[in-house]
Structure 1
Amino acid sequence: MYEPIRAKSVHSMADQAQYPHRSREEELDIQLAGHLAALLAVTDELGLEAPAEAIAAQVSRLRGAPPARHAALTHADADALHRRALALAGRALVVAASRADTAAAILSAERMDAHTAAMKSRDLVGAP
């Protein structure tokens, strides 16, 4: 009733040895380094030297090379920068927790606390 398949399926998987593959840990390292590098850029723009150096050290550890840092400022509002930094630190914390990286998780949590405190203090200063 049906004609047998005579050609190799186009949907079959290619030889796995031909393509490089990364482990889950390597993928998480790349994600974490990316989130921390973005946090570093915002931290540099806020002018926070000590936290920026701590973040740069973590990025260096994960990537095996120091991060590229730039002096291009967006002149964004400080509140917007703190909100962005808080979001980036939260993302970094999630990835650090999933890969069980205690140092990066602690750093991310500290940055979240610092940016939350900065946003709260700015709200209190502006309140009548």
Structure 2
Amino acid sequence: MYEPIRTKSVHSTMAGTTTDFPHRSREEELDIQLAGHLSALLAVTDELRSLTPTEDLDAAAERLAEQVTRLRGGGTPVRAVASGAGDVAALHERAHALAGRALVVAASRADTAVAILAAERMDAHALSSVG
């Protein structure tokens, strides 16, 4: 009824470990995930900066870029080219959600600097989307 599996599984089914596929530690996976959330938050921040430039957003973008660079081992983050068009309230909501995701990963990773930055960004975007 089912077609048999023709390829070898990428998951080890034996007690021993295989070396035919890359392994990453939990810490490395969390770094990758956290860098991704922060990069997305940086892109939204850059978009907001083009629509409503403020010193707070400029400072936040620099801090986010520094953290992404650190998490990626020195790789400079790609910066978004802002379109200059968009719904500011929707962008603040998106940024708030991304900062929340980053906060959760930073907390599980015990990265205090990123957790503080993410919490600050959540507060800033929560206030901006309301008022």
Question: TM class, shorter-chain normalised?
Answer: 0.7 to 0.9
From 76, 94, 104, the counterpart of 1:66 = 76
1:96 pairs with 98, 103, 106, which one?
A: 106
SS at match of 2:23: coil
CA RMSD of aligned residues (A): 1.7
- Of 31, 34, 41, the residue aligned with 2:33 is 31
> What secondary structure does 1:59 align onto?
helix
Give the residue type in structure 2 aligned to 1:100: A
Distance 1:24 1:107 in 2: 22
**CA displacement 1:41-95 (0-9 Å, x = unmatched):** 0000110211100000000000021101121426210000000000000000000
CA distance in 2, matches of 1:68, 1:105: 22
The 5 A counterparts of 1:72-111 are 72-73=82-83, 75-111=85-121
Match of 1:53 in 2: 62
Secondary structure of 1:30's counterpart equals: helix
Given that residues 42 and 64 in structure 2 are in contact (C-alpha distance below 8 angstroms), is that contact kept between their aligned partners in structure 1?
A: yes
The alignment-based identity, stated in percent, is: 66
CA distance in 2, matches of 1:70, 1:86: 18
**1:32 positional shift:** 0.2
Taking structure 2 as the reference length, the TM-score comes to 0.79
Q: TM-score, normalised by structure 1?
A: 0.81
Query: Aligned residues, how many?
Result: 112
Q: 1:118 aligns with which of 93, 104, 128?
A: 128
Counterpart-to-counterpart distance in 2, 1:93 and 1:117 = 17
Deviations 1:68-126 (CA, angstroms, capped at 9, x unpaired): 112142621000000000000000000000010001100000000000111222xxxxx
